[in-house]
Structures are given as C-alpha cells and as structure tokens.
Amino acid sequence: MKPVSIKDIAKAAGVSHPTVSRALCFSPLVKAETAQRIRDMATAMGYRPNAVARGLVTRRTRTIGAVVTTLTDPFHGEVLSGVEELASDHHYSVFVANCNADADREIRVVKLFQERRVDGIVVMCSRVGALYAPLLRELKIPIVLINSNYPNDVFDSVAIDNLGASLQAVQHLISLGHSQIAYLGDQFGLDSDRERFAGYRQALLGAGLPVVTSLTVCGDGTPEGGQAAAARLLALPEPPTAIFCYNDQSAIGALSAIRVHGLRVPEDVSIVGFDDLRIASFANPPLTTVRQPRQLMGRTAAGILLDLLSGSVGQTHVQIPGELIIRRSTATCSTAVSDIQEPAI
C-alpha cells in the first residue's frame, strides 16, 4: 500500500538506507557495482523518491509559486507558460494561484505559498502596491514581479517599457493626422494601466494636443468591457477618430462596438491595441498593436528567480522595449485629410 522507500530498498539489498540514498544520488562515495545493484533494485521495486521528505530535510522544495491576476486572460496564460517552461527545464515545479486582481487575495496567496515552502515566487501584474510591499518583503522569499513597477525597487522585476511603447503608439496615431484620440484603459488600478496612460498623455502634450477628460474611459481588460467603453466614446458629441486601448482584448471589443455603431475601422476610427496576442493579426481588420514577448517575459522572470535562488545578489530590473506592429486598424484621419471622403454608398 505505502509507496516503497529507501529503507525498503535497503532491507532488500542488505545495505543501510543512507547507502541507498547515496547510490540513487550517484554519489562517488559508494562502490560502483553496489550502486548499480541498488539502482537496479530501486527501479525493479518501482521506487519513486519522495520530494516532500527531501524538501523537509534540504529546506528547498524546488518549487516556485506563480501568482496570476486572471488565468482566463490569454496574456497571462502565455507568460505563465514561459515561467513553467524555464522552471521545468531546471526541474522545478510550479504552483499557480489566481488572485483575481485583488490585492488582499494576492497577499493571502503569497502567504499560502510561503506555507508550502516554495523557493521563490513570480507575481504577474501585482496589485499590492508600495504600501504593502514591506509586508511581502519580510516573508523572506525571493519575489520577481512581472509588469508591475514599485517606485522603490523593492523587488526584482521584468516589465515592458509601457510608457515608451504607449508614447510610440500614440505618436503613430498623431502622425496619421489624428487629434481626437481616446484612451480606453483598465479599471483595476494596475501599474501598467497608469503607465500606458502616462505615455498617451505625454504624446498628446508633446504634440501640443489637449488631454480631454471625456476621451478617457475604463474597460476591464476583456472584450466585453472594451466594447462597452468604446460605445460610450462613440456616443460622445465629439467622438474620437482614434482609440488607443489598454490591451488587445479591449481593442477587439472596441472593434466590435465600432462595427455595431455602423462605422468602419480604420476609415472612420483607428484602433491601436497592446500585447500583440496571437489573435491580433487575425482580427478584422488586423490590429495595429504593441508587441509584448510574453513567453520570453515569463522565462526571463523565472530565470531571474532561479539566479536569485542560486545565490545571486543585487537587484535585476529587466525593461523590455515594446515594439509597435503596424497593421490595418490604423489609417490617416479622414476628417484631417479632406472634408469629403465619405464612401459612395
């Protein structure tokens, strides 16, 4: 009934259990032929090492915890995939936990991971904020953040250059002649949202354009939220000619809202997304967006974590430049180019 242990093998092989342990770890301290004999018996008896017991004595579990805001978001799935990939390459296992964009829950999850004695933690899109950062810090577990920036650099991090990328994206719209540009953001107070808005703002101000309050609306990162928010923009007395969206999911919702409203993309309204999800290039029209190397970001974060675990010191902050991918959801502003450019029918 109970799985076989090294003691069982020891008994069967007529040696002591530490010898079995050494043989299985390929320790040079044990005679080659007995080691081989022991290993053969182990496989014959169907032995599987107990990682729990090993973790107790070595004080390292070779596990890492991944905290995710919403697993249902394909963005997070891909980052997580990168984390898992690198982790498993190094024989680490990954715990996942959802925190539903809730800071309290995020802290509870991290504490749970602490009880599980994970060696390190990766947090995606943390919502904990600078206020609670010390609380996490005192847990004494290495933490790497993905796409959230604490002002005081308490944790190592991997993040895209949100501000620079947004700046670039909105400048692209401005260069197409747009001046009525809206920002369709998120609603959870994520750092990335704030930074993308800052880039938007900076681009407008840099071009001498006003930042109009009514042109900033909040979605929730989903197509549904994006659709609703875009509908509000289109109902404005002076609707925007271009919308810069917090992410691709929102942008896809906006695309749909514009269609429902009887307008066309990009002839009537230009749309820019963020993330370059796989479906972005399959949208109709294909979405102009900012590429985030999601799996790479996950791998990078996991790599930093493993470095930390093997004793590296000093903070690492990887900043990844965003790349603007111009597809067919953006075009020159029709009202700016000429007054008569309505379609024949």
Dihedral, CA atoms, 203, 208, 213, 219, nearest 10 degrees?
-20
**Nearer to DNA (CB atom), residue 90 or residue 278:** 90
Contact residues for a copy of itself, defined by CB under 8 A = 3, 46, 48-53, 55-56, 61, 63, 66, 70-74, 76-78, 80-81, 84-85, 88, 93-98, 111-112, 114-117, 138, 140, 222-224, 227, 249, 252-253, 255-256, 259, 278-279, 281-284, 295
Sequence-distant (≥ 6) Cβ neighbours of residue 157 within 8 angstroms:
144, 145, 146, 148, 149, 150, 316, 317, 318
Q: Phi first, then psi: what are they for 312, rounded to 5°?
A: -70, 145
Please pick, from the candidates 11, 40, 44, 53, the single residue that binds DNA as defined by CB under 7 A.
53
Count of CB atoms situated within 10 Å of the CB of 321? 12
205 binds, among DNA, a copy of itself, none (CB under 5 to 8 A by kind): none
* Beta strand pairing call for 270-272 and 289-291: unpaired
Strand order in the sheet with 181-185: 216-218, 181-185, 242-245, 270-272
57 touches DNA (CB under 7 A): yes
How many whole angstroms separate alpha carbon 249 and alpha carbon 257?
Answer: 13
Do 56 and 49 touch, CB atoms closer than 8 A?
Answer: no
Q: Which stretch binds DNA (CB under 7 A): 48-56, 290-298, 312-320, 330-338?
A: 48-56
CB of 26 to DNA, least distance (A): 11
31 binds, among a copy of itself, DNA, none (CB under 5 to 8 A by kind): DNA
88 binds, among DNA, a copy of itself, none (CB under 5 to 8 A by kind): a copy of itself
CB of 259 to a copy of itself, least distance (A): 7
CB of 34 to DNA, least distance (A): 4
Q: Phi first, then psi: what are they for 142, rounded to 5°?
A: -60, 130
Q: Is the peptide bond before 3 cis (omega within 30 degrees of 0)?
A: no
Binding mask 5-44 for DNA (x = CB under 7 A): xxx------xxxxxx-xx-xx---xxx--xx---------
2 touches DNA (CB under 7 A): yes
